[in-house]
Amino acid sequence: MANTSRPVGRTALLASAVALAGLVGACGGESSTSSAPQPSRAPRTTAPDTGTGTASGTAPAATTAPSDTAGSASASARTDGRCHTSELRAAVGRVDPGAGQRNFPIVLTNTSDRTCTLYGYPGAAFVDASGEQLGPDPERAPASPETVTLTPGKSAWAGLSFSSPQISGARTATPVALLVTPPDEHDPIEVKWTAGEVPVGGDESSVSLSALEAGTGP
């Protein structure tokens, strides 16, 4: 009986040891499998997202830049296309009397070597020898202005009109010069006035200006 119980006890003890070793091994294996991928997955997931975001953010900047540059160039071209005072010569044409009116063409000629444009009404003011303005600013005659393109040497004109002082009875003065300011410019061009007295006050003293059009007169 004693010999039979010892082998059985050893067998049970060995079985318990094997089972315990298997349990410890299994626990160690689970710990390695669940933790190892965690640090390796995070960089793989983050890197593609960062790269895609940068590419997506860069693309609109590359597309927008040429558009802005083109817009600025276009705006600059429109601004530079206007005729400036320094590029023009002004003159007063011969009087065209009619129906109690005195009508004069104010002519602006392009003296530059480039093509430029004029649009709208010129400014005009009669002045005396001291440079003081005589009378109010001319009124603008109703019109639908159009852009006038002047190649080098070409001209545009606007009509300066007022009632003959001998007929209207307006108070008059004799200017020394007429200051002509091109549209959208600040500096005037001085033109010697040789056509006698002009109305500067009283009834029927208004002077009118028409919009610029191509040519040197009607």
Residue-range definition of the domain harbouring residue 26:
2-80
Give the range among 81-85, 97-101, 133-137, 150-154 with minimum mean pLDDT.
97-101
> pTM score, two decimals?
0.63
Tell me which of 80, 95, 119 is where a domain ends.
80
- 154 and 75 in a single domain? The answer is no
- Side-chain-facing half-sphere of 81: CA atoms under 13 Å: 13
Q: What pLDDT does 80 receive?
A: 56
Euclidean distance between CA atoms 191 and 140, whole angstroms? 20
- 109 and 73 in a single domain? The answer is no
Indicate which CATH number applies to the domain containing 156: 2.60.40
- 22 and 74 in a single domain? The answer is yes
- 199 and 111 in a single domain? The answer is yes
Identify the residue whose tokens are 């597309």.
63
Cα 136 to chain centroid distance, Å, stands at 34
- 67 and 165 in a single domain? The answer is no
When divided into structural domains, the chain yields a total of 2
Q: What pLDDT does 93 receive?
A: 95
- 126 and 209 in a single domain? The answer is yes
| Average pLDDT score, the chain | 75
- 6 and 30 in a single domain? The answer is yes
Instruction: Name the E strands within 25-170.
Output: 88-92, 101-110, 116-118, 123-127, 133-134, 139-140, 148-150, 155-163
3-class DSSP state of 115 = coil
Please check whether residue 217 is in contact with residue 158, taking contact to mean a CB–CB distance below 8 angstroms: no
Residue 30 has pLDDT above 60, yes or no: no
- 44 and 105 in a single domain? The answer is no
